[in-house]
Structure 1
Amino acid sequence: MLNDERTDPPDAPDERETLNGFLDFLRATAVFKAQGLSDADAARQVLPSLLTVSGLLRHLADVERWWFRAQLDGQTGIPTRWSGDDPDAEFRVTEQDSLADIITDYQAACAESREVAARYGLEDMCKADHSAGHSLRWVLVHMVEETGRHCGHLDIIRELLDGVTGE
Structure 2
Amino acid sequence: MVKRIPPLAGPEKDTLLVSINRHRDVVLWKLQGLDDEQVRRPLTPSGTNLLSLVKHLAYVEYGWFCGTFGRETEPLGDPENDLTVGPDETTADIVALYGRARAAADLAVNEVGLDGLGTSWDGETVSMRWVLVHMIEETTRHAGHMDIVRELIDGATGDYA
Does the TM-score normalized on the shorter chain lie above 0.5?
yes
Say whether the 8 Å CA contact 1:58–1:106 is kept in structure 2: yes
Q: 1:58 aligns with which of 55, 64, 73?
A: 55
Secondary structure of the corresponding residue to residue 13 of structure 1: coil
CA RMSD of aligned residues (A): 2.0
CA-to-partner distance for each residue in 1:2-43, whole Å, 9 max, x for gaps?
xx3342222221211111111111111100111111111101
SS of corresponding position for 1:75: coil
Structure 1 residues 70, 94: CA separation in 2 closer, same or farther (over 3 Å shift)? Answer: closer
CA distance in structure 2 between the aligned counterparts of 1:33 and 1:27, rounded to whole angstroms: 10
SS in 2 for 1:48: coil
Consecutive unaligned residues of structure 1, counting only runs of 5 or more, are none
Distance across 2 between alignment mates of 1:153 and 1:109: 20
Q: Mean alpha-carbon deviation: is it higher for 152-161 or for 96-105? A: 96-105
**Secondary structure, counterpart of 2:5 in structure 1:** coil
The residue aligned with 1:68 is 65
Tell me the secondary structure at the aligned position of residue 134 of structure 1.
strand
Q: Tell me what 1:151 maps to.
A: 143
Matched, 1:33 2:25: no
Aligned CA distance change for structure 1 residues 81 and 21 (closer, same or farther; 3 Å):
same
Letter in 2 for 1:122: L
In structure 2, list runs of 5 or more residues that go unmatched: none
- Cα distance in 2 for partners of 1:76, 1:32 equals 28
> With structure 2 as the length reference, what TM-score do the two structures score?
0.89
Q: How many residues align?
A: 159
Would you say the 8 A contact 1:66–1:80 is kept in 2? no
Residue type matched to 1:68 in 2?
A: F
The reply on whether 1:22 has 2:14 as its aligned counterpart is no
Distance 1:59 1:140 in 2: 17
Taking only the aligned residue pairs, the percentage that are identical comes to 36
Q: 2:96 aligns with which of 101, 104, 111?
A: 104
Flag the 1:131–1:35 CA change in 2: closer, same or farther, 3 A.
farther
Query: Match of 2:52, SS?
Result: helix
